Structure 1
Amino acid sequence: MTGAFGRCSVAGATLRGVEALPVQVEVAVSGGLPGMAVVGMPDAAVQEARERVRAAIRAAGFAMPNEKIVVSLAPGDLRKTGTGFDLPIAVGILAATGQLAPAAVEGRLFVGELSLEGRVRPASGALAFGICARDRGLSLVGSAEAARLPIAEVEQLGLERLSDLRPGGPGPRTLAERPRARDAGAEPDFSDVAGHEVAKRALQVAAAGGHGVLLMGPPGSGKTLLASRLTTILPPLTPDEMLEAAVVHSVAGEDVAPILAGRRPFRSPHHSASQAGLVGGSSPVRPGEISLAHQGVLFLDELPEFAGSVLQGLRQPLESGYVCITRADGNVRLPARFMLVAAANPCPCGYYGADEGERGCRCTEAQVRQYQGRIGGPLMDRIDLHLDVQRLPPESVMATGGGTDSATLRAGVMRAREYASWRAAREEGVPAGPQGTVARCRLSDDDRGFLESMARAWRMSGRAIIRTLGVARTLADMDEAAAVGRGHLAEALGFRLREGMGG
């Protein structure tokens, strides 16, 4: 095809972190040496789109212009990544050469990867692209294979093949709501865990207030079993929380169906995880495990076995609820509001402090201190509940199935959260931060003196004191008490202070 000169601009988008930023795909077909150039800071995947687009256009029955084609991705100072630019580039070429009516691209945001046969494949980050289309007031056109997004404000259209755009073809079709697949099996329940009522109580407190937990005990004591059931007692996701969590998983190419079904994320990375894998990073920036655990639970088993630098990367996200990844072309902010649940053996052999009758510990005191010290004091300071988990006697293990179940624990969590919401609505003028935490507890002079004396005796840091007050406030909410009492403070301190790990 020669002499079909023209220009066209198509709306597209690129992922940056977990956000889709609008990109204008400008196509100009003009005289000159035949070829296609893509400019505007494209990465390797976008550059490779040239070959996929050529093959797909020919396979779809359109004519590929034998002219000079320049594709400009604006703004030019934003790095473009991913294979989602295949579809907007192909549509732009077809519209610029008159093979597609200009009205076919107006008011639409195109995202999709093309196969060499012209099939339109889904691109990672569909939810982020849907939000971008909603914010710009555009329809979203992608692959017909993609599931319909839970964004009612956006018209969602799909193409099976590029040839669907030919005159007389079906064109983009509205994506239909697909039935959600049922879970393959029953969700785990706390009733599966024999005994450990104190640990269940601690996890209920953690779920009620969103507190971090460290479970320490010998191998086979049930630490992982307890942690894996925490999501079953957390409140259901709100629509906003569901969308936030699903966007992160969508960008990472993970299945979003469980989240859209209302299940909170539960992430359990191996202790060999790198800092980029846990916190996020790489190029382009991808969310790490802490972002994939957003609005859910991050479980770190064998906590001392993680690299020290990796663990210390958790400190800032635990405080702020997000992680900021800095690169040469700017900062990328990723959401990371998660509950941290960690499990650890007390020493290298695992049997330090075991009950009488258990296998004896073979480690020296220096080895125990060194092993526990791998976690680091600053991170320990940010974990609110420190719990010892001992092995159960055989008769208790055989009685599994008769303990407190998840429904009972969840009911207590929901009551506490409802009371906390009711209380917060009546606490106008209470500032945020440590000052607000102290004010919300409404301590009596005697109880304030009790906490101060305990803090001095255990050499608690300022952060540890405030976090202990936060746990005590949660315990008071569980009792639907307006003020924190001595019993709440004593239980919170009991969950916080333990020999060998500090306060």
Structure 2
Amino acid sequence: MSGKGRCLVQAATLRGVEAVPVDVEVAVSSGVPGFAIVGMADASVQESRERVKAALRSCGFTMPASKIVVNLAPGALRKTGSGFDLPIAAGILVATGQVDPSALERALFVGELSLEGAVRPVAGLLAYALCARMLGVGLVSAEVEEGSCALGRLELRCARTLADFRTPPFPRAVGKKMQIRAESSDFCDIAGHDMAKRALQIAAAGGHGALMMGPPGSGKTMLASRLPSILPPLSESEALETAVVHSVAGENYDRSLHGVRPFRKPHHSASLAGLVGGGSPPRPGEISLAHNGVLFLDELAEFSPSVLQGIRQPLESGKATVTRADGNVEFPARFMLVAASNPCPCGYFGDDEKKCTCSERQIRAYQGRIGGPVMDRIDVHIAVRRIPPGEVLATGRGTSSEELRRAVLKAREYASWRRARAGTGSRRETTEELVRACDLSSEDEEFLKATAQRSCMSGRAIMRTLALARTVADMEERSRVRRADLCEAIGFRSRQGEL
């Protein structure tokens, strides 16, 4: 829509990891000179007035000495970010007759302006591209490479400066083939630890959480850092989901678009907002940046207990919900939790060679920082022991990542086939579906009941034990879970290294 003194420009604002369409309505009329932006605009949007004024003058346009009102509709939606600079400036140029209205046709505009009129990229470009594709229009933003937000059925065009509005159409984005270097870390670099490798292999096959507990220097961090090398690449839909989260967070997402699963390792001093998400406007936290990948929490017991309790709900639901006065914002958070911890403050409780100097009270307090509810949600518990010096020197001759990865891929393919045959598809199995998928014999069912009674297992613990046993059976491509699978799952579920 455009007419004498009026113009409408298509824009969008970020809410969570989604770009929501916004109409930028510009009206230039006679009256007391002024420049007002209305429609629930935050401080960063209000600052657009000064950037737009300076940018228009720097590019040789006229800033009208009239009454300018910019309305951002819908009015009930809070608008955030500096990406409104470009659509507001474009609306003023068309409303004042300085550029042809055809420059704004069938396009969504997003970009920040420098005082010289250059168009700068903003966070969330991939989310804006998805919004433009949904609306059936093109996207005009700062100069970017096409590969950074290449989507089918989307026309991506670049505006370098406001001066480009004099000579539309805007040039198309330049495609560039990106080379993603593969990770060099391999499990063969780690000698010994065959049981830990087996446990991580099972965890990778079923997407189970894992906790490694052992003394300092036993290899916990090395084992965790090599876990991505045995995971399958992201599917096309997973890659796009993951890349959008990183785009909104303002981080590079090239690796995600090329199928590389994220591996996040926040420091133990991380705040609740940094881990789960928050801020104003709400920003995705580390658990969302690990979506479809691995979240590694090293020195788990050193994290604040309140921060650790914040990941309980996302572990179950696969999403993080941030509540604000204007509503809830959801971030995807379906991740594989891998953690490492010392068993006590000195680190040597249970070690065969070095004596622990901690009291029983100190050990209980240290392990209690993790919290029972979080521990109950971790499926695989691994006791990592220090290996003999002779085995340390045999590095490079351990089981390779490629060998472990083949078994993981085989298990996942079999599990997908099994779920498809049962009609559950790719979604998470319900309790009833999981019990039916395990197909336990009456003897094995009684064995599990007796073990659960003896070990005081919660209902969640029983179902997670079944899920772990189902993964073990998937690795052998068996339709029925056997007693041996249950025993191995129960062994990994039992908490290792605890007092």
TM-score (norm: length of structure 1): 0.96
Counterpart of 1:446 in 2: which secondary structure?
Answer: helix
Aligned to 1:66: 65
How far 1:101 sits from its partner (Å)?
A: 1.4
Deviations 1:357-394 (A, max 9, x none): x2210001111111111111111110000010011111
- CA drift at 1:197: 1.0
Q: Distance in 2 between matches of 1:238 and 1:110?
A: 30
Task: Write out per-residue CA displacement over residues 186-225 of structure 1, whole angstroms, 9 at most, x where no aligned residue.
Answer: 4311111111111111111011000000000000011011
- 2:422 aligned residue: 427
Work out the CA distance in 2 between the residues paired with 1:64 and 1:428.
62
**Contact residue 145 and residue 174 of structure 2 kept, 8 A:** no
Are the equivalent residues in 1 in contact too, given 2:110–2:141 (CA < 8 A)?
yes
Q: Give the C-alpha shift of residue 161 in structure 1.
A: 1.1
Q: Is the 8 A contact 2:146 2:156 kept in 1?
A: no
Q: Residue type of the partner of 1:227?
A: A
The 5 Å alignment of 1:4-83 reads 6-83=5-82
Whole-angstrom distance in 1 between the partners of 2:498 and 2:196 = 18
- Are 1:249 and 2:242 an aligned pair? no
1:154 aligns with 2:150: no
In 1: Cα distance, 2:6 partner to 2:498 partner: 68
| Greater mean alpha carbon deviation, residues 4-13 or residues 376-385 | 4-13
Cα deviations across residues 28-73 of structure 1 (Å, max 9, x unaligned)?
0001122211111111111111111111111111111111110110
Structure 2 matches for 1:309-388, cutoff 5 A? 309-355=306-352, 358-388=353-383
1:172 aligned residue: 170
1:133-166 per-position Cα deviation (integer Å, ceiling 9, x unaligned): 0111110000114554131211000011111111
Q: Which residue of 1 aligns with 2:117?
A: 118
In the alignment, the residues of structure 2 paired with residue 292 and residue 428 of structure 1 have an alpha-carbon distance, to the nearest angstrom, of 31
Q: Which runs of 5+ in 2 are unaligned?
A: none
CA distance in 1 between partners of 2:191 and 2:444 (Å): 36
On the 8 A contact 2:321/2:329 being kept in 1, the answer is yes
What is the one-letter code of the residue matched to 1:362? T
Kindly provide the CA deviation profile for residues 462-496 of structure 1, in whole angstroms up to 9, marking residues without a partner as x.
Answer: 10010000000000000011100011001001101
Residues in 2 aligned to 1:315 and 1:366: alpha-carbon distance in whole angstroms:
26
* Contact in 1 for aligned 2:214/2:497 (Cα 8 Å): no
Give 1:261 deviation, angstroms. 2.1
Shift of 1:12: 0.3
1:217 equivalent to 2:214? Answer yes
CA RMSD of aligned residues (A): 1.5
Match of 1:390 in 2: 385
Distance 1:215 1:429 in 2: 32
Q: CA separation in 2, counterparts of 1:498 and 1:11? A: 56
Segment drifting more, 459-468 vs 142-151:
142-151
Q: Output the CA distance in 2 between the equivalents of 1:212 and 1:145.
A: 38
SS in 2 for 1:140: strand
Q: Contact 1:142/1:157 (CA < 8 Å) preserved in 2?
A: yes
Q: Quick one: which amino acid aligns to residue 174 of structure 1? A: R
2:199 is the alignment partner of 1:202: yes
Amino acid in structure 2 at the alignment position of 1:156: L
> Which residue of structure 2 aligns with residue 136 of structure 1?
135
Query: Aligned AA for 1:154?
Result: L
Over the matched positions of the two proteins, sequence identity in percent amounts to 62
Question: What whole-Å deviation, never above 9, does each CA across 1:411-436 have from its counterpart, x for those lacking one?
Answer: 00110011111111221489942222
Matches within 5 A, 1:81-92: 81-92=80-91
Task: Give CA deviations for 1:232-273 in whole Å, capped at 9, x if unaligned.
Answer: 111110110000000000000001011122210000001111
Contact 1:265 1:293 in 2 (8 A): yes
| SS state at 2:422 partner | coil
| Structure-1 separation of matches of 2:332 and 2:311 | 13
Summarize deviations over 1:52-95 as a string: whole Å, max 9, x none. Answer: 11111111111111111101101111111111000000000001
Kept after mapping to 2: 8 A contact 1:416/1:479? yes
Bigger drift between 97-106 and 221-230 goes to 97-106
Paired residue type of 1:486: R
Structure 2 contact 157–173 (Cα < 8 Å) conserved: yes
Q: Contact 1:13–1:23 (CA<8 Å) still a contact in 2?
A: yes
Q: Give the counterpart letter for 1:180 in structure 2.
A: M
Q: Which residue of the partner structure matches residue 403 of structure 1?
A: 398
Q: Give the distance between the partners of 1:30 and 1:441, measured in 2 at CA.
A: 72
Q: For residue 413 of structure 2, what is the aligned residue in structure 1? A: 418
Q: Distance in 1 between matches of 2:155 and 2:434?
A: 45
Task: State the alpha-carbon separation in 1 of the partners of residues 469 and 183 from structure 2.
Answer: 34
- Equivalenced residue count is 494
Structure-2-length-normalised TM-score: 0.97
Q: Quick one: distance in 2 between partners of 1:48 and 1:498? A: 54
The residue type equivalent to 2:393 in the other structure is M
Equivalents in 2 of 1:87, 1:187: separation in Å? 42
CA contact (8 A) 1:5 1:30 kept: no
User: 2:301 aligns to what?
Assistant: 304
Whether the 8 Å contact between 1:297 and 1:340 is mirrored in structure 2 is: yes
Of the three residues 418, 443, 448, the one matched with 1:451 is: 448
- Distance, in Å, in 2 between the alignment partners of 1:181 and 1:36 is 46
Partner Cα distance (2:423, 2:136) in 1: 37
| 1:174 partner SS | coil
Structure 1 residue aligned with 2:187: 190
Aligned-partner residue type, residue 366 of structure 1? R
Where 1:326 maps in the other structure, the secondary structure is: strand
- Matched residue type, 1:374: R
Contact kept? 2:290, 2:333, Cα under 8 Å = yes
| Contact 2:382 2:496 (C-alpha < 8 Å) held by counterparts | no
Tell me, which stretches of 5 or more residues in structure 1 are unaligned? none
Q: For the residues of structure 2 that align with 1:319 and 1:67, how far apart are their CA atoms?
A: 56
Letter in 2 for 1:461: S
Distance 1:265 1:225, change over 3 A: same
